[in-house]
Amino acid sequence: MVETLDAVSVHTLVLDGDGRCISISPCAETLLAKGSPLTVRMDRLRRNKTSSAVAECPRLGGRVDIDHDLQPCLDCVTRRAASELCPGSCAISITGPQDATIYLRLAPIALADQQVLTGAAAMAVIRPLSVQHSAELLPDIAVALTAAERDVATELLSGRRPAEIAQLRGVSIGTIRSQIKRIYAKLGVSGLVEFIARIRR
């Protein structure tokens, strides 16, 4: 499975019930090379000491700062089946020096799928945020939005109208308007002016 995801350039890690990395895709290995704000040391995901991490925690219902070893988030997701503490996946934004940012989504693997992936309890998907995104979206904002919403938010900041964004993304204008409404709701703003002020704060 990891090889299949790697073939389409999805950066993945498979974690066991203790939060240890049991499989790392070559794409993820390259991304986590020296200088990345996120690394794997002693089979554990860790953020560099010079980076900061913010998680969108479904269990706590908000954003929280994460410590060096990311273990609280890993424990919440990998042990979900046993404890039911975490109601879903966990999104983490890790920012290092020179605003190098990595977006990490941790999701539990369903019990039925755990039999196919022996020892697997969770999957981590890593996505580097583009320079354009990390330069314009604050990490705590970026982690609250989905990948599509981050793209739409960036287009809005660049001055594009919903119709232009729809054309660029190859979707209907209704889809873009729905995404914009969700972005505004997540950020607690009522319009474009408030959105720009909030996102660049």
Q: What is the pLDDT of residue 81?
A: 44
- Phi/psi for 174 (5° steps) reads -65, -40
Residue whose structure tokens are 């409404």? 181
Per-residue pLDDT band at 4 (split at 50, 70, 90): very low
Q: How far apart are CA 169 and CA 17, in angstroms?
A: 38
pTM over 0.85: no
Report in angstroms the alpha-carbon separations of 35 from 22, 67, 81, 115, 128: 22, 19, 34, 36, 13
Q: In sequence order, what are the beta bridge partners of 94?
A: 53, 102
Q: Residue 118 carries which side chain, given as an amino acid letter?
A: T
Average pLDDT over residues 93-120: 73
Q: How far is CA 171 from the centre of its chain?
A: 23
**Could you give the percent of the chain with pLDDT greater than 90?**
6
Q: What is the pLDDT of residue 175?
A: 93
Both tokens of 173, joined, read 């204008």
* Residue pLDDT, tens place only, 24-72: 888 788 778 767 888 888 888 888 888 888 887 777 777 778 776 787 7
Q: Which residue has the higher pLDDT, 45 or 7?
A: 45
Q: What is the DSSP string of 41-104?
A: ETTEEEE-TT-EEEEEETTTTEEEE--TT-HHHHHHHHTHHHH----S-EEEEEE-GGG-EEEE
